[in-house]
Structure 1
Amino acid sequence: MHEIPPNYATLFVATCNALNLARPQRLFYANQEPYDPREYQRKIDWLGERIRMLNADVLAVQEVWDDTALKDAIAASGLRYDSVAVPGAESTPPAQGAQGTPRVGIVTRLKVEELRSFVDFPQGLSVDVPELGRHVRFERPPLLARLRMKHGQSVNVLTVHLKSKRPKFLIDAAGQPLENRDDHKIAARASLRSLLMRAAEAAALRCIVIDLLDDSRVPLVVMGDFNDHPHSVTTQLVAATSDAFYDKAARDVALFNAYEMQGESALKKDVAYSHIHQGHPEVLDQIFVSEEFAVGSRRAIGDVRRVDYFNDHLHEGRDRTRTDHGLVRALLRVRMDAQQG
């Protein structure tokens, strides 16, 4: 007699860097023109089409200046989501949206049990950045959503957007440069500032991941714009995947690249990239999962069936009404008889 396979619930998760999603006529960066109404509508329509295509149960969004703009994009998708949250980017008057830097958000049709933004680094993880002083908090606070699936399973989802590799040149209060950006040595020092900031954010994020996973059976999905490739030092500082290969006990607090964990039947295309920098494709936007989705783990309650990259638009020319990042979606499965959390 063949064993009856367990009953699975499916969970589509996706991540999207929306590239400066802001209201029309709203100045978000001093050196960039606001969107005019027609340009804004093109951006909303384009994003709405992509959101409809993804049809994710949980969508992590980065670079949101105004939550009302994200809600417009959701409305344009024609899909229904019960929760759209972008802490720090609330823009319904009198609120004025994010200031200084965009925020990350979460869009979901699952029940939201908790939302929490992490602003400050855990104690002991601040660093001195040359000429900038102590770096003690996230530029774009990670957003944790504790969600519950229809059959009762809890899932933690953490949306992240780490500091970019773009050199951190010194500017004055009005945004005017204080350094000669054509000087190669100054540019190297500016890149060092960015690296130190991203590394500190990665270490702080690692501590958050450990706190969420240590001695917990609630599965965790971490996704967003890591601003570096999956095997980079900063990304692995967050995930610590390699530790799990040498120490099985380390699996409890490790993260696994969903693309590398997808089932044998998945079609792994050679187009797994989410950004093009100076003509070179790279993966910056990633989805990581905890060992509850790792086949073979004694704590597994599901698996990763498929990961898809939607990146054709990256070859259509740069246009800020679209995005300069690909969208990434993963299909996860959870056993319905394995309710934890």
Structure 2
Amino acid sequence: MAARDISFSSINLLNLQLPGRPVYTDRDGWPPEVYDRKIGFTAALLSRLDADLFGFQELWAPEALQQALDAAGMADSHVMLTPPGHAGTSITCAAAVRREMLVGSPEWIVNFPPELELRSSGDDPQQADISVSLDSFSRPVLHLQVQPDPRTPVIDAFICHFKSRRPTRIWTERAWYSAASHSDHRTAMGYALSTIRRTAEATALRIMATKIMKRSNTPVVLIGDMNDGKASNTLNILTEQPRYLTTLATGGGDNAFYTAQVLQEYRSTRDVYYTHVYQQDRESLDHILVSEQFYDNSRRRLWRFDDMLVLNDHLNWDDHKDSGTNDHGAILARFRWKPAQQGIV
């Protein structure tokens, strides 16, 4: 790609941890032979995608990710970004970015922005009061800045991993859970709690992005495992549901995000996009969302969408714990420098 072009990738690493070290309640972790296969699989993904900015989820040990980058031949071209002092006892978001593109120092954001209030007395007389007291992300959000070339603006990027759709295990709640009262309903209640948590996280990230991009021309990208589909409420919160314009129309939303999935669908004759398989249901949980500076029809376009790739063949083999593959597809979106405004070259 040319100097001012840019590409983004998202990869869920499926608990990339050093061999024999704990992963959640599994005290034994990955056997050495499976770990070696995981490193080989991850390195092959990195080499094939060759993104300018990789966003990672489910990283435990920074040493393991560095080993994969080294095996991919990216030790010199990319710098790994992991939380300072991260000891591998919890999972985090991480990144790898071309060394010359990184601007400033990254930050990992744990707490929700102070503007976030999720409480209301309702907007019609039949509604009761509601209040959600969450104040932090399940997984810290990584915020960094990149600049493809000195002649381009700096891009703000966020790497995220929202709460899974797996039902919250409420039967471990000693303070209130009763098997007699709640056992038959624990799945429904667990799904509801996971949805509430994921919704709050999406809203918090939306506020953080809005504070940067609204009434500005700052390019912003959101990358990650959002654990929901493109038509979900989670994505609606993040994107603000912009209108995708017809071929010759121009416009763009100042505070909107456009999904790389939809941009690719406008280029394709068939939609085969999926990044996750559960009980034979193929769907897209991993996303790259871009501001109007990357949207073809925007009057304030700086980069045009080139294409999107999804590496997902490994999802059709349910042997991730043996093969070393991941349980999510890896995605790549590429954008070429093509400003819409006259006077910008």
Same fold (TM over 0.5): yes
Which residue is 1:74 aligned to?
A: 69
Which residue is 2:127 aligned to?
A: none
Candidates 327, 332, 335, aligned match of 2:335:
332
Asked whether the 8 Å contact 1:263–1:305 carries over to 2, the reply is no
Asked whether the 8 Å contact 2:12–2:58 carries over to 1, the reply is yes
In structure 2, what is the Cα distance between the partners aligned to 1:146 and 1:87? Answer: 15
- 1:161-200 to structure 2, matched below 5 A, reads 161-170=161-170, 183-200=183-200
In structure 2, what is the Cα distance between the partners aligned to 1:63 and 1:164? Answer: 12
- Whether 1:122 aligns to 2:117 is no
Asked whether the 8 Å contact 1:8–1:336 carries over to 2, the reply is no
Candidates 249, 256, 274, aligned match of 1:254:
256
Change (3 A) 1:72 1:45: same
Asked whether the 8 Å contact 1:169–1:179 carries over to 2, the reply is no
Q: Which amino acid aligns with 2:259?
A: N
Asked whether the 8 Å contact 2:260–2:290 carries over to 1, the reply is yes
C-alpha deviations, 1:175-201, integer Å up to 9, x for none? 9xx775993312211111111111111
- 1:240-319 to structure 2, matched below 5 A, reads 240-242=240-242, 251-262=253-264, 266-267=267-268, 269-319=270-320
Asked whether the 8 Å contact 2:251–2:298 carries over to 1, the reply is no
Q: Which amino acid aligns with 1:66?
A: A
| Greater CA drift, 331-340 or 34-43 | 331-340
Q: Give the superposition deviation at 1:85.
A: 0.9
3-state DSSP of counterpart to 2:332: strand
Asked whether the 8 Å contact 1:126–1:135 carries over to 2, the reply is no
Q: Give the superposition deviation at 1:220.
A: 1.1
Q: Which amino acid aligns with 1:18?
A: L
In structure 1, what is the Cα distance between the partners aligned to 2:34 and 2:179? Answer: 34
In structure 1, what is the Cα distance between the partners aligned to 2:271 and 2:339? Answer: 33
Q: TM-score with structure 2 length normalisation?
A: 0.83
C-alpha deviations, 1:236-266, integer Å up to 9, x for none? 1111123788xx99811110011222496x4
In structure 1, what is the Cα distance between the partners aligned to 2:269 and 2:156? Answer: 26
Q: Give structure 1 stretches of 5+ with no counterpart.
A: 1-6
Candidates 47, 54, 59, aligned match of 1:52:
47
Asked whether the 8 Å contact 2:57–2:92 carries over to 1, the reply is yes
3-state DSSP of counterpart to 1:118: strand
- Whether 1:112 aligns to 2:102 is yes
In structure 2, what is the Cα distance between the partners aligned to 1:270 and 1:337? Answer: 28
Q: Give structure 2 stretches of 5+ with no counterpart.
A: 120-131
Change (3 A) 1:124 1:263: closer
